[in-house]
Structure 1
Amino acid sequence: MSEQTNDRGVLGGLLDRASGAVSQVAAAGALIVVFVVLSIVAPSFLTADNLFNLGSQTSVNAVMAVGVTLVIITGGIDLSVGSVAALSGVIGVMLMANYGFNPLLGILGGLVIGAVAGLINGLLVSVVGLPPFIATLGMLSVGRGLVLIVTGAVAVFGAPESFRLLGQGVINSIPIPIVLIVLVAVAGHLVLTRTRLGRYAYVMGSNMEAARLSGVPVKKHTTAVYVLSGALAGLGGMIAASRINSGQPNFGEGLELDVIAAVVIGGASLFGGRGTVLGSLIGAFLVAVIRNGAVQLDIGTFYQNVLIGVIIWLAVWWDRYQRRKLAGDAGG
Structure 2
Amino acid sequence: MQISLQTYRPALLKFQSLIALLILCLTIGLLSDKFFTVANGWNVLRQISVNVCISVGMTLVVLTAGIDLSVGSVLALSGAIAAGLLRNGIELPASNLYIGFTVFGAIVAGLLTGSVLGWFNGWAITRFKLPPFVATLAMLTIARGLTMLWTEGFPITGLGDSFTFLGTGWLLGIPLPVWISGGIVLVVVLLMDQTRFGRYVYAIGGSESAARLSGVNINRIKMLVYTMAGGLAAVGGLLVTSRLDSAQPNAGTSYELDSIAAVVIGGTSLSGGRGSILGTVQGAVIIGVLNNGLVLLNVSPFWQQVVKGIVILLAVIIDKSSSRND
- The TM-score normalised by the length of structure 1 is 0.90
Q: Which amino acid aligns with 1:162?
A: S
2:78 to 83, 88, 110: 88
- How many residues are treated as equivalent by the alignment? 309
Structure 1 stretches of 5 or more lacking a match?
1-18, 327-332
Q: In structure 2, do the counterparts of structure 1 residues 228 and 22 end up closer, same or farther at CA, with 3 Å as the change threshold?
A: farther
Q: Which amino acid aligns with 1:120?
A: F
Would you say 1:254 and 2:254 are equivalent positions? yes
CA shift for structure 1 position 221: 0.3
CA shift for structure 1 position 21: 7.7
Q: In structure 2, do the counterparts of structure 1 residues 132 and 274 end up closer, same or farther at CA, with 3 Å as the change threshold?
A: same
CA shift for structure 1 position 155: 0.4
Partner of 1:14: none
Secondary structure of the corresponding residue to residue 247 of structure 2:
coil
Q: In structure 2, do the counterparts of structure 1 residues 22 and 70 end up closer, same or farther at CA, with 3 Å as the change threshold?
A: farther
Partner of 2:52: 62
Would you say 1:265 and 2:265 are equivalent positions? yes
Please tell me whether the aligned partners of residues 20 and 267 of structure 1 are also in contact (alpha carbons under 8 angstroms).
no
**1:11-45 alpha-carbon deviations (Å, 9 max, x no partner):** xxxxxxxx998545111111112112222221111
Partner of 2:38: 48
**1:303-329 alpha-carbon deviations (Å, 9 max, x no partner):** 111111111111111111121222xxx
Q: Which amino acid aligns with 1:134?
A: V
Structure 2: how far apart are the matches of 1:55 and 1:23? Answer: 25
Partner of 1:3: none
Secondary structure of the corresponding residue to residue 154 of structure 1:
coil
Partner of 2:92: none
Partner of 2:222: 222
Structure 1: how far apart are the matches of 2:277 and 2:12? Answer: 15
Q: Which amino acid aligns with 1:47?
A: T
Partner of 1:78: 68
Q: Which amino acid aligns with 2:306?
A: V
Structure 2: how far apart are the matches of 1:214 and 1:144? Answer: 39
Structure 2: how far apart are the matches of 1:69 and 1:123? Answer: 19
| Aligned-CA RMSD value | 1.5
Secondary structure of the corresponding residue to residue 79 of structure 1:
coil
Q: In structure 2, do the counterparts of structure 1 residues 279 and 20 end up closer, same or farther at CA, with 3 Å as the change threshold?
A: farther
Q: Which amino acid aligns with 2:21?
A: L
Structure 2: how far apart are the matches of 1:266 and 1:177? Answer: 21
Larger mean CA deviation between 40-49 and 196-205 belongs to 40-49
Please tell me whether the aligned partners of residues 24 and 266 of structure 1 are also in contact (alpha carbons under 8 angstroms).
no
1:35 to 12, 15, 25: 25
Spell out structure 1 runs of 4+ moving beyond 3 A: 19-24
Partner of 1:6: none
Structure 2: how far apart are the matches of 1:26 and 1:50? Answer: 25
Structure 2: how far apart are the matches of 1:184 and 1:25? Answer: 23
Partner of 2:296: 296
Q: In structure 2, do the counterparts of structure 1 residues 309 and 24 end up closer, same or farther at CA, with 3 Å as the change threshold?
A: farther
Matches within 5 A, 1:187-202: 187-202=187-202
Q: Between the two proteins, what is the percent identity of the paired residues? A: 42
Partner of 1:128: 128
Higher helix share: 1
Structure 2 stretches of 5 or more lacking a match?
1-8, 90-99
Partner of 2:241: 241
Q: Which amino acid aligns with 2:24?
A: V
Structure 1: how far apart are the matches of 2:58 and 2:12? Answer: 21
Partner of 1:116: 116
- The TM-score normalised by the length of structure 2 is 0.92
Q: In structure 2, do the counterparts of structure 1 residues 116 and 324 end up closer, same or farther at CA, with 3 Å as the change threshold?
A: same
**1:188-246 alpha-carbon deviations (Å, 9 max, x no partner):** 10111111111000000000111112110000000000000000000000000010111
**1:246-297 alpha-carbon deviations (Å, 9 max, x no partner):** 1111111111000000000000000000111110000001001001010000
Structure 1: how far apart are the matches of 2:210 and 2:15? Answer: 31
Structure 1: how far apart are the matches of 2:102 and 2:300? Answer: 38
Q: Which amino acid aligns with 1:127?
A: R
Structure 2: how far apart are the matches of 1:203 and 1:153? Answer: 43
Partner of 1:103: 103
Would you say 1:152 and 2:142 are equivalent positions? no
CA shift for structure 1 position 135: 0.6
